[in-house]
């Protein structure tokens, strides 16, 4: 058998069907990786540091010898890990045309992926390696944000159930990219409560680029967002593209939205709500911040949320109207309540009229 080197485009086409084995250190993988990849580290973080230091101070051959000391005792375990990965995938995947094919990469497509590829090829796997390694994938990722896209934005003031509409669109087999889902954050000051820790900026970009690549020739739906979601930022090039997409704004009465917010966040711990309010105090203003927290402490959650909702309404409207050519992009849809089923249908009806 032989090891085949492939470019990033071919690698990602293959990655849809076959396991991607990332042989970088656990720290590198945990920071960011190709979506769906499996961590199969050649070295631990400490071992990588030792080998790297030896390479710089004592030369390539000394580093290789140290690397072999670390690698040798892991060979059997690495082979068995790959066998387990393939077995698990075959259980859930009926495609068996190339049952032993694996895709391997490291940081730059150098010695680490070469060593693991050699081992897996020797054992009998069909091995493909990525030319340029993870660095090539990062270049590909950043290039995705420069492309034009045919997207449609689900808009609406806070409490309009926009995320619920995205879920309903997915149920109807409409293409959707859930930015808040990718970011593990719901966007507002309260958006991180109860969510998983946010990924690194790099990992967020990797996941977003991966989804965008699926829809290069298809129209897809997005929720209207500010550029910042929690601690993460939508890449500037793609953010600019989003601002040129048509907006389907579900216009829902204030009281209905306030009740929706009450149902979603009203039972959260007061301490977490207070901390969330404090994070926006500079924008909310000292008086409104003090008043909102006072209502919360007194148990008047509705009055507290009413202050916050008015703040978010003003902020969102200001951002909405900053778009270029907003009169042509904005499609307001009057809705009686926060009902994702009927509101989704209203959006689809409106969007089909404007095709």
Active-site residue (options: 106, 219, 304, 350):
106
Return the H-helix or E-strand segment holding 330.
Answer: strand 330-334
What are the C-alpha distances in Å from 328 to residues 206, 314, 323? 32, 21, 10
Strand segments, DSSP code E, in 224-286 are: 228-229, 232-233, 247-251
Nearest to 346 by CA among 271, 280, 252, 254: 252
**Complete edge-to-edge strand list for the sheet that includes strand 126-130:** 4-6, 126-130, 101-105, 20-22, 38-39
Return the H-helix or E-strand segment holding 206.
Answer: helix 201-214
Active site residue 335: no
Percent helix, percent strand, percent coil in the chain, to nearest 5: 55, 10, 30
Largest CA distance in the chain: 73
For residues 183 and 198, is the Cβ–Cβ distance under 8 A?
yes
Buried b (16+ CB within 10 A) or exposed e, 89-117: eeeeeeeeeeebbbbbbbbebebbbbbbb
**Is 264 buried (19+), middle (13-18) or exposed (0-12) by CB count in 10 A?**
middle
Whole-number Å distance between alpha carbons of 96 and 221: 34
| Residue 338 phi, psi dihedral angles, 5° rounding | -85, 80
**Is 178 buried (19+), middle (13-18) or exposed (0-12) by CB count in 10 A?**
middle
**Catalytic machinery residues:** 106
């Amino acid at each position: 058998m032989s090891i085949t080197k492939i470019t990033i485009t071919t690698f990602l086409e293959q990655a849809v069907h076959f396991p991607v084995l990332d042989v970088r250190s656990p720290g590198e993988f945990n920071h960011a990786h190709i979506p769906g990849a499996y961590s199969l580290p050649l070295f631990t973080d400490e071992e990588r540091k030792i080998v790297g230091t030896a390479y710089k101070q004592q030369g390539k051959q000394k580093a290789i010898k140290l690397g072999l000391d670390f690698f040798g005792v892991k060979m059997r375990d690495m082979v068995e890990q790959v066998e387990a990965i393939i077995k698990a995938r075959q259980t859930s995947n009926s495609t068996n045309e190339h049952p032993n094919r694996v895709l391997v990469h490291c940081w730059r497509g150098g010695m680490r992926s070469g060593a693991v590829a050699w081992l897996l090829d020797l054992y009998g796997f069909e091995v493909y390696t990525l030319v340029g390694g993870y660095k090539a994938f990062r270049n590909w990722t950043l290039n995705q944000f420069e492309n034009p896209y045919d997207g449609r934005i689900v808009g609406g003031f806070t409490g309009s159930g926009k995320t619920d509409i995205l879920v309903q669109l997915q149920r109807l087999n409409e293409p959707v990219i859930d930015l808040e889902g990718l970011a593990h954050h719901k966007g507002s000051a309260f958006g991180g409560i109860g969510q998983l820790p946010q990924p690194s900026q790099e990992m967020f970009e990797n996941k977003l680029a991966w989804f965008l690549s699926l829809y290069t020739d298809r129209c897809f739906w997005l929720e209207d967002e500010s550029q910042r979601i929690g601690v993460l930022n939508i890449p500037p090039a793609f953010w600019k593209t989003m601002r040129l997409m048509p907006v389907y704004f579900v216009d829902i009465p204030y009281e209905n939205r306030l009740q929706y917010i009450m149902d979603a966040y009203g039972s959260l711990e007061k301490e977490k709500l207070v901390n969330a309010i404090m994070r926006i105090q500079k924008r909310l203003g000292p008086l409104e911040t003090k008043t909102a927290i006072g209502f919360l402490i007194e148990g008047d959650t509705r009055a507290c949320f009413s202050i916050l909702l008015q703040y978010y309404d003003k902020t969102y409207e200001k951002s909405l109207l900053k778009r270029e050519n907003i009169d042509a992009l904005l499609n307001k849809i009057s809705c009686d309540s926060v009902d994702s089923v009927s509101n989704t249908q209203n959006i689809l009806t409106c969007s089909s009229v404007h095709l």
